[in-house]
Chain A
């Protein structure tokens, strides 16, 4: 177990209503400043795990400890820990439209600080700083439906960062991003990581895992952790990745050449064609 973990899950299982399982006997500790990527196929429980980390869902069995405090629904509904927890942990949702519920970008980004009782002038100054940092300041009076998919994603990230979190959780953050925005996002996450922030990403994007994470865990279709280690080691284990349906192998042709190799399920045919 990690010494003084910021998050610790012990034998955590989670079932949705109707008994549909989403997580099965998860044991996981997360150290401060760790850059963790949770990999797994569709429906393996990645998003559920992030929602438990963010105190939005609570384990059906087992326990979740954050900053040394057991997190339960009751603890987050009452008491001072709740406000600290919300300040320290931020979540970027997969669907930006869910997260962008305010009338303008500035209102959206200042929403979190205002709800955490930060003075309005400080909240606005902070929101504007974040918008400048993400090169979004020109959009501050825009309404969410006027933004492109990439801009929505950036505003969602800005609104999560505005509370000054210690831990950033992001669900499929590179979805709907063009290659340049994706590269920009990875750079930003690395920069936040170097500043000592703890970052947890749930993704199927192996490229993100390779370029960003210091640790990776893999969930399988039985909703269990089947591997936990360095991204380099796990991504080199083709057999494991194929078994959990993160890559697949097939033959295909390019002109007069045909060859066989592994593909991730994303960017399927974006690979080096010198291999044969």
Chain B
């Protein structure tokens, strides 16, 4: 279950001064042996914790809003804080009151991504599910389909692409250059950056934690290495604190950008 380099390091008892090289983390730490396989279907750790994340989100909101009371208590309070945060900090700044229609969508995105992210620093898991590109990629497809279809419905199939490619205020002579760029930007670059930003941030965070986590273990020996090991541990803890912020921030950015793309599609012109 632990990543392979860590497994090697832990199992091998590989330490500095023992003639053993630093088991540096690599991209192969993001590819897991399946827990079990059914035919060509491979059930891996990221899939397991993606499902756990989904279950947590569902269970939390089920507990919170199953029988909502006028005077909230317990989980309902927390759930209300959650959805009101999404509504007032993500949706309404972009979309105003009409954004409330998209509350379930943005709430689902935000909390699903956040819980998947946060597994990066949960002991016993220590793996950000969203660093597997399939998950941000899938969610981005949903976001892309959503904002393109809203744009086409709201501005008409021709109007949507026309408005997209001719930003207001741009002089006519620059349009031949600008129009393809805008088209590319809206339809290809936006979803690409949206998904890769999330995946790369979580992947980098996990690599950072691995570097210092493995370093703490590798440098541990009853010698001067103990000092290195302690330093590495301190950095590891600091990076963990940083990642607490990053897991939240990346979910927030993903949800905010999704809301922004939707609001962009709802405007009749740029």
Whether A associates with B in a native complex is no
Which residues of chain A have a CB within 8 Å of any CB of chain B?
none
